[in-house]
Every structure is written in structure tokens, then in C-alpha cells.
Structure 1
Amino acid sequence: MSDQPESEPRGTRPRRAPVPPGLRGAAPALLGYAAVRALGTVILAVAAAVQGKDALHRLNGRWDSVWYVRIAENGYGYEVTLPDGSVHSDLAFFPLLPALERAASEVLPVGAATAGLVIGWIAAFAAAWGVYAVGAHVAGRRAGVLLAVLWGVYPTAFVQSMAYTETLFTALAAWSLYAVLTDRWITAGTLCALAGLTRPSAAALVAALGVTGLVRLFRRDLTWRTVVGVVVAPLGWLGYVVFVAVRQGSPTAYFEVQAAWGNNIDGGVALARFVGAQLTGPVPFAGIGLVTAIGLLFWVVWLCVKQRQPLPLLVYGAGIVVISLIGAAYFGSRPRLIMPAFPLLLPAAVALARPARRTTAALVVALLAVASGAYGAFTLLGSGPP
């Protein structure tokens, strides 16, 4: 089945000529990304050595990483009952990463934990490459390079060096979006389906493809490849929800499992209560800081709209933000959940990409890399999960 480019729907093609995403063109982005992530890793290693802690263990042997390794080694079926009676089931974790960990550990002379770290690092570079490809296609090579590097200095970018799913998901999402932008819908739908086997936030990517396809329908520019891509896109996410439903004997089992973890959708009530508690607590400046951060987040979303980003990027970026804010999840994890929304960084990348701002761009990236590395070391060497 051929998946060749078709005519682009009006309003979604960038004005500039498409930029090929080849490795040679992406090399500056990948080298820049490698440099900032290496700096973050060095900062973590130094801080861990000073405290007498194992830096590697922080990257592949704690929190969610442990759950993925257990699934890779033993399959699904593990549960933990907490003192308050709530049950945490491993069915809350999607299957693609542990499946890859198991496959890699069968082929390579390493355990599943090390395999997860290797997969995470490879996926991180695949993600940076995809982020560059999208940015270069929309705004030019220089902006694409800066977009990839800025994604590498995101405040919670330390997760990109962990055996977590964020890098794998971002890689699949970025290349799926690039496939949409270049009108390769079957490829886009297939990558989206794989993303749906990686993280629940793939719903935002499914929405991006669906809304874009719907616009093509209204414009009478719908083709069979677009239909196939849109139909295939949600199959990964839906397939896992059905798997959990059949396994547990309840059509709502997946949502019940997530609710037991405290990840139910409450429309942002938990977030509002947390912010309110900070505002009225002993340190109200913390609450003011949170309100400012949330306001800044929505301002960035508005900048993306004002920038007239292609529709798939707007829907995906805004969708990730909404999904990350309307759940009752642990507040500290929300910045990590938003990290795959790389289109939010495009306005900054375009602004810094101007030739007159080369020195400014280098200084900004250097400062952000140090700050991101320091924050990562502080978080990973602490007691709580990211």
C-alpha cells in the first residue's frame, strides 16, 4: 500500500519550501541537543558524587522505571495495596516501552532496566530529530535547530535521560506530525497508533489528526489515505483500553485503574485546590508563582495561535496542555506531562533564530541548559518522583 504525498489541504502548508529531514541537515540540531543533555548528565553525576549517591540508579531504577521493568520481565498482573486501601495496578502503564525493553534484553547482554535506559536515549535523539524536522518544515532550519535544543533544556528535560516513556512518545508524536505536514497520512496514523500504546496523552495526537482530517472533509479535500490515517490513529490507545477492559471484566476498567492511582479526570478541580492551598498557606508566594506559571503557559499557547502554526501542531500542543491540567494527578508531575508539547517552544525558537540574535540565542541556551541541569539534579537526588 503506497503512502506517497498527496495534495496539501489549503491552510496547512507552510509558505516556505519544505525542508528535507535528512541526517546531514539535522546534524546541528542533534549535536546541539547532545551537548545540552550531556551537560545535564554531568551536572547530575557531579551532584550525585558529592552526595555519595548513584546517579545511574536515579535514571533507570526508581519510580515509573521500576514498574516498566517489572512488566517487561513478568508481564502484567502486579498490584500494590497502599495503607489507605487503594490499589495501584501495573495496568496503568502502557505496553510499548516494556515490550521494547523485553525485546532488547533478549537480544542484548543487558537486563531490562539497562535496556530501558538505552531505548530512552535512542528515543531521545529520534525525538530531537523529529522536533527539528517539524520546526524546520514550518519555520526554517535555524528555527528547527533551536526548537530541538530548547526542547533539550526544558525544565524537566532530565526525564529525557531516564527510562521513561516521554522520549519515545515525543519521537512518535513528532514524526507523526511531520508526516501530517508532508501529507503522508498512513505513516502519520501508524505512528500515532504506536504513540497510543506508549502514553494516554496520545489522545491529543489522535485529536490533531482527527481535526485536521475533518477540516479536509469540510474543504472537500479528503482522500482515502487521509481516511485510513485518521481511522488507524486511535487504534493503539483504544486497543489497550479494550485489553484492560477484557482482562478486568469491566468496560471502564482502564479508567478505574487510573482513578485508583489518583489520575482520574476532574476538569482541573484538583489543580485549582492545590493552587488555592498554596495561596492561602504559610508561603503565599508559592501560590503566586504557580498562578504566574499557569498564566505564562496559556500565554505561550496564545503565542502559538498568533504565530499561525499549522492546525495539527496547534491541536496537539493545546491538547497536551489540557490533558496535563484537567487530571487529578500529582502536581509535581505536570511539567513532565507537558514536556512532549514541543510546538509550544516554536515561538521562542523563531524569535531566537533571527541572524541578529545569534549571541543572544547562545547565551539563552547556555543559561537554560545550566538551570535545567541543576533542577534535574535537585529533583532526581530528592525523595519524590518527577
Structure 2
Amino acid sequence: MTSLQQLTQEAKALANGQWAPTEAESETARQLQICNACRYCEGFCAVFPAMTRRLSFAQADIHFMANLCHNCGACLHACQYAPPHDFAVNIPKVMAQVRGQTYAQYAWPAPLGQLYQRNGLTLSLALAVGLALFLWLAQQGQASSTGNFYSIFPHNLLVSMFAPVFLFAVLALALGVRRFWQDITPATSGTALTAPAAAEATHDVLRLKYLDGGHGEGCNNADDEFTLARRRAHHLTFYGFMLCFAATSVATLYHYALNLPAPYDLPSLPKLLGVVGGISLTMGTAGLFKLKLQRHPEQGDAAQKPMDLGFIALLFLISVSGLGLWLARSHASMPTWLAVHLGAVMALFATLPYNKFAHGIFRTASLLRHAVEKRQPNPIGLGSD
């Protein structure tokens, strides 16, 4: 799409009342215009090459680039127009504000999008504690076999409890990101996804490429010091979560396909994946929690901090309680650990479509579209990818 076509479409949209920009969207467009004239940060991350392909910024462009941003903070610390300059350019902050709006705007069902504003640390922990208490009370008076929590909650009962919640979460996230993809595709060349673009984006996602600050030294602390701590904590959290998910998937295969019911212990594959994943997830979430508390409020959207901390806290509780459940498998405290673990997992599943988990889904979609767009000719002939 040429810049003239884009400007024409924007004018028509505004004339028809189809897009009334929010304060965060208007501020993002203003700051990107300043950045487009400066170009000092052009090589920092995917946002700035994408920016140089545009002369103006419609809603779809802003949503696309906001979810490309990894909030590393490098551009804020390098910017000569950052606060207290009169231009007050703070790309990480306005991008974070817009990202929060996109999560709510594309939420499915739409009325539940408001949960993004309420899904904070207190709500997340209260839900986990409430569910754990319910499960603990439900098991009172039941005899259990040592090391076998299926004697407390049978396998089929757990499946009937967790499968509907998990499937709803997957459906809600899929429908939300589908709408997001449909909206940003015309703004990012409109070209279909190709195998090379998908491979590049997958590589960037798995490496967390854009958490290196654009120079390989990592994100900025409040005192301008570069650190890879945030990238490492993200890696530990992401791969720890994926290993735990793989452990559950392999255990499901063992149960249904190989007729090998739980419980499993080392050195079985489900337990090996679960223990390594649990340790990694514990370390990663503890690191993220600490970094989130220490980060300067100008490096993100302070209003989203409770939601961020709530999501991290649930993951931490799941990993710690999962490891505790395994270590206490032959102890009288095993039923309590089981109730805490299942309560935390169910709380995570219930809030999954409306908590910070969405940022990984939307960011992946934006990286895919960026990998497609950068392979097309620059419509305004400026900048480079």
C-alpha cells in the first residue's frame, strides 16, 4: 500500500467516524513522527525499521508496532528528546499503554476485555487461594495412597475440571489474535505469510532477539546500566513453562496411548521434563518479579504493573507448588500441596486469555507480520530493514 493510499484511507476512516484515536494512540503517533525525523535509534529493534516505512501512523500501524516493541528501554535511554525535554519522547511507555489497549480491544468475548484492567496481583492470588481452599476442603476425609494423588482426585475428574477451562482459554486467545492479525495485515503489505518469513520470526521469538537492546548488551536499568538479566529471566520462564507443558503432554500420551498411568517418578520422561521445567520456571519468575519491582516507572506503563505481577506470581506459585508436590509425595502434607498446585493451575487457566500471557501471542503475530513486510519494497524509499 502506498503512502498516498494509506493517507486517503485514514482520511476516509476519520470522516466516517471509524477511528477515534485514544489518547495513547494519538501520543504514540506524535512521538513516532518525531522519531521518524531523527532516526538515531533506527537499528535498535524491529520497531524503527517498521517506522521508516511509514509517513503517517493509522491505528493498525500503531497497534502493530506497539506489539513489536519488547520494552527493552534502549531507545528511552538513548533519546535526546526524552523527558524532561519539551518533546517528551518516551516510546517504551506509550507503546506499553497501547499494548494494554490492544489486549482489551481484541479480547474475546469482548465484554471480558475489561478484565485486563482488574486482573492484578491481588485478584490472581485471591483466585488461586480460593480455588486451593475449595479443593483442600473437597478432599477432607478421603484416604490416599502414598505418592499417588490420583487416589484423591481421579484422573478423569481432573480432566473434566481442567480441560473445559483450558480449551476456552485457547479458543479465546485464538479468536482475539485472529482479529488482530486481520487488522494489521493490510497495514503490513497485505502479503501472505511465507515459509522464510515464518522461519525468521520463529527464530526471533525463540531467541528473544529484541531484548538485547539493539546492541547485544541487554536492557537498560533505571541507572542506564545495560544488563542481560531481563532476557535471561524471560528465557528461563518461557522454556521452563514449555518444559512443564511438555511434561503434561507426554504424561497424557503415556496415559492414553501407552496405558501407563501416573504417578511417574525419575527417571521417567514426564518427571524429568517437569522437574527441569519447574526449576527453570521458579528461577525465571523470581527474577522477573524482582526486575519488575526495580524497574523505573518511565520504562513502561505503571498501570499494568499489577497485571504483570499477578501473572508472574501465578507462574511462580505453580512451579513451586509443583516441585513441593513431588518432594512431598510420600509425606502427610501431600494433599495440601496438591490443593495449592491445582488451585494455582486452575487460576492461571481461568485468567489466561485476560492476563499478561497475551503479550507473547500478540508479539509473535507482530513479528510474523514484520518478517513479511520487511521482504517487500519500502513504499516510501527511506530507511532500511
Q: Same fold (TM over 0.5)?
A: no
- The TM-score with structure 2 as length reference comes to 0.28
Highest Rg: 1 or 2? 2
Bigger relative contact order, structure 1 or 2, given CA contacts below 8 A and separation 6+? 2
